[in-house]
A = this chain, B = another copy of it.
Amino acid sequence: MTSRPLPAQLPRTDLTRHRRLREQGSLERADLDAILDAGFVCHLGVVVEGRPLVVPTVYGRDERHLYLHGSVASRSLAGGTPVCVTVTHVDGLVLARSVFEHGVNYRSAVIHGEARKVTDPDEKLEGLRRLTEHATPGQWSYARRPSRKELAATTLLALSLEEASVKIRTGAPDDGDGPDAELGLWAGTLPLTAVWGAPVADPLLPADVPVPGHIARREGTRHG
């Protein structure tokens, strides 16, 4: 691992080149970072005996790597297995005048690489810390950290953030200045927002245990 930062522009490769809807493609690393930071669940794709398998899993990150909870796919992940990790935020429906122009406002990052099983205990602990803090900032300091045995029972994958591509669609439908505008139909977007609710205590929890501030203060905030 080097400390040199990754370039601000994502590389244009056979895997990241945008073949379609080019206007939605971004090769800005800042866009990639923002999409990754806004979520905590990704879809991990692997090839198993020639067939694709796509499973949801949680992730965290540092500047150069994504860390994935990998048990689901671990049977398929011998060293150097190619994976594809996709993180998508759905921001709303694009309701055009014509069905043909309908679509979705979204932000999506697709990362290509070879997943590496993290075996060094220190790196694994640090990866798990990042994964835990990514989903719930403040929780690593609050909860009981993994024992040596638990650490050994956890499969953590690392994936370089070097080769990735981003697609973003925002805003109104595209048929507002075409012939369909004459139809007199309503057109616009219907936003979709994910919001954190009120913490629900474990029924087995004694009534006098307070909700810690780092959890309580998320209520009502937006996710994604």
Contact = CB atoms under 8 A, between A and B. Distances in A.
A11 interface: no
Given A143-B95, A143-B99, A202 B215 contact: no
Interface string A198-224: 111111110001111001001000010
A99 B141 CA distance: 10
A193 B212 CA distance: 21
Given A50-B82, A82-B51, A144-B99, A108 B189 contact: no
A43 interface: yes
Given A20-B71, A144-B180, A215 B190 contact: yes
Given A55-B86, A56-B108, A193-B194, A185 B45 contact: no
Contacts of A82: 50-52
Interface in A102-144: 102, 104, 106, 108, 110, 112, 128, 132, 135-136, 139-140, 142-144
A9 B115 CA distance: 34
A78 B208 CA distance: 61
Instruction: Count the copies.
Output: 2
Given A51-B82, A98-B150, A143-B95, A209 B193 contact: no
Interface in A56-96: 56, 58, 71-72, 75, 82-86, 88, 90, 92-93, 95-96
Contacts of A173: 202
A27 interface: no
Contacts of A211: 186, 188
Given A112-B51, A132-B102, A43 B86 contact: yes
Nearest to A151: B100
Nearest to A153: B100
A199 B190 contact: yes
B52 A143 contact: no
Nearest to A86: B54
Contacts of A58: 104
Closest 6 CB pairs of A and B: A176-B204, A45-B52, A191-B197, A45-B54, A43-B43, A100-B150
